[in-house]
Amino acid sequence: MHHRRHARLSWLLVSAGLLSACAVGPDYHRPEVAAPESYRATADQTSMAADAPSVKPSDAWWESFNDPVLDKLIEVALANNRDLQSAIANVIRARGQLETTRAQFFPQLGASAATARAQGSSIGTAVIAPTPGTIGTVSTLQAPATWQIDLFGGTRRQVEAASAIEAAAIAKRQAVALAVAGQMAESYIMLRALDQQLVVTHQTLESYRKTLHVFELRYKHGTANMVQLSQVQSQVDQAEATIPPLMKAIAEQENTINFLAGRNPGSVPRGKSINQLALPRPPAGLPSELLARRPDVMGAEQQLIAANAQIGVAKAQYYPSISLTGALGSSSTNLINLFSGPGKIWSIGAGATMPIFTAGAIAGQVTSAEAGQQMALAEYRKSVEAAFRDVDNALVASAEYRKLVAAREQQVKTLATYAKLSNMQFNYGYADYLTVLNAEESQFTAELQLVSAQRLEAGAIVGLYMALGGGWEAADKATVQANESITQGPANLAAPLK
């Protein structure tokens, strides 16, 4: 009898396992995307210096700027940035949710113990009770078990969705790591450009002050008039007026860098000047490679996978839900006999539930899940199209800003010659000082514009690497290693500022 009962139970479990291999809802297939065969623009390799380093997209490209200060700032940012620490904790949370969901595949075993003092009754019967009319103690110890059979794959779809959500959280962490590295590089480049503009302004101001001193002597000895002296003074005033906005911008940029690094406002160390930074050669790559390289695109696809699985979760509610229950334990009115043979109790059973009429509740959930899948699909295609746009824009910017720098360099040389010759003509009486004034002001403006062009070129290369999804492996690895303590418990999330 017992053998036949166990045989039927075994067949029930095997059948349930086979049926659970079928999951309701659509299986995921990566949607087709219209990828361009090539980018409209390509990196202008011939315009780069012959010794410019070539960096693979998977490398820590910021190290190719050859500035240890920049490398250190990015290292600190990857270790302390608060957005990154939040992204790491989000991965841990998603992993916990996945573990909770996956646990539904397995039987749930518990334990219970109870003792009660009661008076027995002669009316009715009880499995174990004190003698009728007397007061006694009943002690029970048992281990109940339940197992929800995933007959139609609803649980499997839940696990599929939770797995995709965890993968999306990881991709988000990788994307944030790349963004932090890129933002720090761009902020540092901007800081060094502002520093260089301040240097140019101080040099120009010093030159103007020397000229003003000369004209003051000339005016004193009658060889220069008040108009000329006022013209020179206006040069000095203009240069001095350029300094306060630059100082303000420098302080704000330092605060931005410290904020990215998870630090309080303060000064920032300097390394190489803007015109000393080595500019890495932009990497080559086909549009099709972008789908497996950009973490934001990978994250959008994982969100689509999760939304697709949610359709199956909703549809599984239409079908029966079958569960097995059981319990094994002991009950006795005497603690001494609690573990003896006569006190043993056990039970085993099965139950099934199925919706008959829900007034459209399940249909509404299915409709909502299908709409969520369409939203995720649109977001995925949008992320792919944005990636192609970003790369093409960055390639154009990298090539055109390189040309802009060359043009500004030539302009500065031309205006320096113009200023020198106009000074000579003024000294020999062939030109008035207004000509000199215009030449020197034009040179000053061109020198500031050259620095801006150098910043744009370096920033375009940073933008190109970020658009290509390069460097996220190195950035993410450094992030995880530096924030290992966060995974050890919530208490470590409140670490003091460094």
pLDDT of 487 reads 67
pLDDT of 198 reads 97
Exposure b/e, 278-306, CB count within 10 A at least 16 = b: ebbbbbebebeebbebbbbbbbbbbbbbb
**Rounded Cα gap, residues 305 and 288, in angstroms:** 20
- At residue 381 the predicted structure's pLDDT band, cuts being 50, 70 and 90, is very high
**Rounded Cα gap, residues 219 and 329, in angstroms:** 112
85-101, pLDDT tens digit by residue? Answer: 999 999 999 999 999 88
- Nearest Cα neighbor of 24 from 323, 362, 361 is 362
Please check the confidence at residue 62 and state whether its pLDDT lies above 80.
Answer: yes
In DSSP notation, 352-383 reads EE--S--TTHHHHHHHHHHHHHHHHHHHHHHH
413-445, pLDDT tens digit by residue? Answer: 999 999 999 889 888 888 888 888 889 999 999
- The answer to whether residues 397 and 460 touch, using CB atoms and an 8 Å cutoff, is yes
The residues, ordered by sequence, that sit 6+ positions from 470 with a Cβ below 8 Å of its Cβ are 55, 56, 57, 58, 59, 61, 283, 293
pLDDT of 331 reads 66
- Measuring CA to CA, how many Å separate 428 from each of 193, 286, 423? 38, 62, 9
- The answer to whether residues 468 and 285 touch, using CB atoms and an 8 Å cutoff, is yes
- The answer to whether residues 115 and 140 touch, using CB atoms and an 8 Å cutoff, is yes
Please check the confidence at residue 293 and state whether its pLDDT lies above 90.
Answer: no
Please check the confidence at residue 498 and state whether its pLDDT lies above 50.
Answer: no
pLDDT of 412 reads 95
Please check the confidence at residue 46 and state whether its pLDDT lies above 70.
Answer: no
- At residue 454 the predicted structure's pLDDT band, cuts being 50, 70 and 90, is very high
Alpha helices in 261-360 (DSSP H): 295-315
- The answer to whether residues 26 and 312 touch, using CB atoms and an 8 Å cutoff, is yes
**Rounded Cα gap, residues 318 and 323, in angstroms:** 16
- The answer to whether residues 349 and 146 touch, using CB atoms and an 8 Å cutoff, is no
For the entire predicted model, the pTM comes to: 0.83
What mean pLDDT do residues 66-75 have?
Answer: 96
Residue 72 φ/ψ, nearest 5 degrees = -70, -40
- Nearest Cα neighbor of 190 from 70, 77, 81 is 70
**Rounded Cα gap, residues 323 and 434, in angstroms:** 95
229-279, pLDDT tens digit by residue? Answer: 898 899 999 999 999 999 999 999 999 999 999 999 999 999 999 999 998
Please check the confidence at residue 123 and state whether its pLDDT lies above 70.
Answer: no
pLDDT of 80 reads 93
- At residue 20 the predicted structure's pLDDT band, cuts being 50, 70 and 90, is very low
pLDDT of 434 reads 84
Helix axes 472-482, 82-102, angle to 10 degrees: 80
- At residue 45 the predicted structure's pLDDT band, cuts being 50, 70 and 90, is very low
Radius of gyration of the chain (CA): 37
Q: Which residue has the tokens 């659509």?
A: 26
Bridge partners (DSSP) of residue 326 are 145, 348
Instruction: Count CB neighbours of 6 within 10 A.
Output: 10
Instruction: Count CB neighbours of 143 within 10 A.
Output: 14
pLDDT of 493 reads 43
First to last CA, the chain: 71
Of 91-100, 141-150, 204-213, 451-460, the poorest mean pLDDT is in 141-150
Q: Which residue has the higher pLDDT, 142 or 42?
A: 142
Q: Which amino acid is at 116?
A: A
Structure tokens that stand for 94 in this block: 């998603």
Report helix, strand or coil for 226: helix
**Rounded Cα gap, residues 161 and 157, in angstroms:** 6
pLDDT of 491 reads 45
- The answer to whether residues 347 and 127 touch, using CB atoms and an 8 Å cutoff, is no
pLDDT of 427 reads 83
- The answer to whether residues 161 and 309 touch, using CB atoms and an 8 Å cutoff, is yes
- Supply the mean pLDDT for the chain: 83
pLDDT of 5 reads 47
What percent of the chain has a predicted confidence (pLDDT) above 70?
81
Structure tokens that stand for 290 in this block: 């972008």
Structure tokens that stand for 292 in this block: 């497996």
DSSP-derived secondary structure letter, 107: -
- The answer to whether residues 301 and 30 touch, using CB atoms and an 8 Å cutoff, is yes
**Rounded Cα gap, residues 451 and 168, in angstroms:** 40
- At residue 12 the predicted structure's pLDDT band, cuts being 50, 70 and 90, is very low
Structure tokens that stand for 417 in this block: 């010659």
